[in-house]
Amino acid sequence: MNTSIEISQINSFQELFDAVKEAPDEASLSCSRGSVTHRVSVLFREAIEAKYPTDFSRFHHKIEWQLVTNANLKKGKFKTADAVKRLHYQLHHNKITVGKSPEVFTREMEARKTIVTNMVRYLVTEKSMGCKNFTCSAISAILIKKSQSMLNEAVHVFQEMFDNLYNAITPENSDLSNMLLGNLLSLLPFFEPKVDTIFQIPQRIDGNWQKVPYKVSPISLTPKYLGSPLKAYGFTTEVKEAKPLLVCIGTTQPTTTGSQLTYWTDFVPGMTVGESLYTSYSKNKLDSWLRHNSGAKMFGQSLGGITAIMSASDNPQHVSEVHAYGSPSPLHSVRAHFTDNTRRFGVTPDVNVYCQDNDAVKHMGTGWHKDWKVWNVVTPNRHNFFSSHAKAFTGQSDVLVMEMIRNSGGEKRRRWLVNFFHQLVSIPMVIVQTLALIIKGYAIGLFNMIKHSVACKARA
C-alpha cells in the first residue's frame, strides 16, 4: 500500500525530514495547497539560506544545484520520502567551504602594469587579461621565443604571492589558503624556476602555519633524443617537520621546455591523458625522486594533476598528499592500480581533486576513485572554457568549494560526450604530433652530427 504524506502545513525542511524519516522510501508526498515539488524546493532553499551567511547569498542557487546533483535527483522529482532523505543527508554531510580568499595579488603589484604582472593577475584573480595586454613581446614570449627575463620576473612575483598569502592567513580562511597555496604551486612550473632557487613557502605543520625555505630541483623526465625535456620540480627543505613537495607540469605554452611532448601525450587514444609519456619515461624518474624524499606532497595543474595521481598510485608509501587542479580523471586501470597498491602497502595518500565550474577537462576519463575527495570550485562570475581551466578560482575574492558526488546521472552523460569528442580528435592529433616529434628528432640528430663534424675539422 502506497503511503501519502501531507506537507502543506510543514514550515521547515527539518520538520519535513522529521515527518518522512520513518516512512518507507517510496512513500509519496502530497500538498493540498499547490505543487509538491515547489513546496519541497522552497523549504530546501530556506534551509540553505539559514545555514550559510547572507554575505554569500549569490552562491545559494549553486549550493542548491550541487546538493541536488549529489543526491542524484532532478528538479521536479522531489515527490517521495526518499528524495527528502537524500537532500537532508547532503545538506548536513556535504563539506562546504565558502568565503573570501586571501588577497595574494595586491594593488601595489597591479600598479606595475608589466606584461608579467598582468598575466599573473589574470591567472590568480577574477580580472580579465584585456586585449591591450597582448603585445608583440607577450605573444612572442608565449608562442615563439622564450623570454628569460619575463620568467625571472614571474618567479619573483610568485614569491611575493607566497609572502602575501602567509600574511593574510587567518583561522577562518585556513582551508581556502591551503587550497590556494596548492593552486599557486601547480602554476609555478609554467614559469620554469631555475635550479637551486630558494622559495619561502607557507606550510601548515601540525595545524600551525609557518614559512619554510625550499630549494628547487628541476627533474628531467624524458631522454634527450626526444628533444626539449619534460620537467617536474622537486622542492626540498632542511626543516624536518616540513614535507618535500613535488610539482608536475601541465600542458604548457609552446615556448616552455617539453611543450611538444605534453601535446602528444594529451592525445594518445585508449589511454589516460598523460599515461603514454608517464609509463614510458616519467615514471622511473618520479619513482626515484620519491624514494629519496618519502612523505612528499604532490601537486599538478591539468596534465600535471593526472601525472601526480598516477605517480601516487604507483608510490602510495612515499606520497602523503596529492592536490590535482583541473585534472582529467584516469581510466579504470589507474584506479585499480591505486586500490591494489594501497592495500599492498597498507597506506592511502590523501588525494584531493579540484574541479572548476564550467571546465570540460574534468569530464575526461572514466571517473574518480571512491577514496579520493573531489571538490567543485565555484566563483560568482561565469567563465568560458579556457578561463575555467587556466585560472586559479581559489584566488578569486569570493569562492565556494563543495564536495562532488561521483557518477551522478548528469555527470555520466557529460563524461560520455567529452570522451567521445576527445577520442575523435585524438587519432589525427597523435599522428600529427608523432610525425612532428620524429622530424624534430631527426633534425636534432642531423644538427648534432654537423656540429660534431665541424668541431672535428676545426681541431684537425
Query: 408 and 311 share a domain?
Result: yes
Query: 59 and 185 share a domain?
Result: no
pLDDT higher than threshold 80 for residue 440: no
Number of domains in the chain: 2
Please check whether residue 414 lies inside any domain of the structure: yes
275-322 tens-digit pLDDT: 999 999 999 999 999 999 999 999 999 999 999 999 999 999 999 999
Q: Which range has the top average pLDDT, 93-97, 310-314, 417-421?
A: 310-314
364-374 tens-digit pLDDT: 998 899 999 99
Half-sphere exposure of 26 (CA within 13 A, CB side): 2
pLDDT higher than threshold 60 for residue 1: no
Query: 54 and 179 share a domain?
Result: no
CATH of the domain at 395: 3.40.50
For helices 81-93 and 36-51, angle between their N-to-C axes, nearest 10 degrees: 10
pLDDT higher than threshold 80 for residue 88: yes
Report pLDDT for 66. 86
238-251 tens-digit pLDDT: 999 999 999 999 99
Report pLDDT for 131. 66
pLDDT band at 410 (very low <50, low <70, confident <90, very high): low
Compute the average pLDDT of residues 406-429.
77
Query: 38 and 184 share a domain?
Result: no
Please check whether residue 161 lies inside any domain of the structure: no
Structural domain ending residue among the three candidates 34, 67, 94? 94
Residues belonging to the chain? 460
Please give the Cα distance from 311 to 165 (Å, whole number): 28
Please give the Cα distance from 258 to 401 (Å, whole number): 32
pTM of the predicted structure, to 2 decimals = 0.88
Structural domain ending residue among the three candidates 38, 65, 94? 94
Compute the average pLDDT of residues 10-18.
93
Report pLDDT for 76. 61
Cell of 31: 500538498
Please check whether residue 100 lies inside any domain of the structure: no
Please check whether residue 291 lies inside any domain of the structure: yes
Please check whether residue 301 lies inside any domain of the structure: yes
311-354 tens-digit pLDDT: 999 999 999 999 999 999 999 999 999 999 999 999 999 999 99
Cell of 132: 591591450
**Taking Cα atoms as reference points, which of 429, 389, 390, 136 lies closest to residue 260?**
429
Mean pLDDT of the chain: 89
Report pLDDT for 445. 65
Query: 214 and 363 share a domain?
Result: yes
32-42 tens-digit pLDDT: 888 898 899 99
Residue percentage of the chain with pLDDT more than 90? 59
Compute the average pLDDT of residues 380-389.
86
Starting at the earlier edge strand, list the strands of the sheet with 198-205: 96-100, 398-403, 373-378, 350-356, 319-325, 296-301, 245-248, 231-236, 208-220, 198-205
Residue percentage of the chain with pLDDT more than 70? 92
Range of the domain at 15: 4-94
pLDDT band at 133 (very low <50, low <70, confident <90, very high): low
Please check whether residue 123 lies inside any domain of the structure: no
Structural domain ending residue among the three candidates 94, 111, 131? 94
Query: 188 and 61 share a domain?
Result: no
Query: 190 and 90 share a domain?
Result: no
pLDDT band at 60 (very low <50, low <70, confident <90, very high): confident
Side chain identity, residue 378: V
pLDDT higher than threshold 90 for residue 216: yes
Max CA distance (Å), the chain: 102
Please give the Cα distance from 2 to 88 (Å, whole number): 22
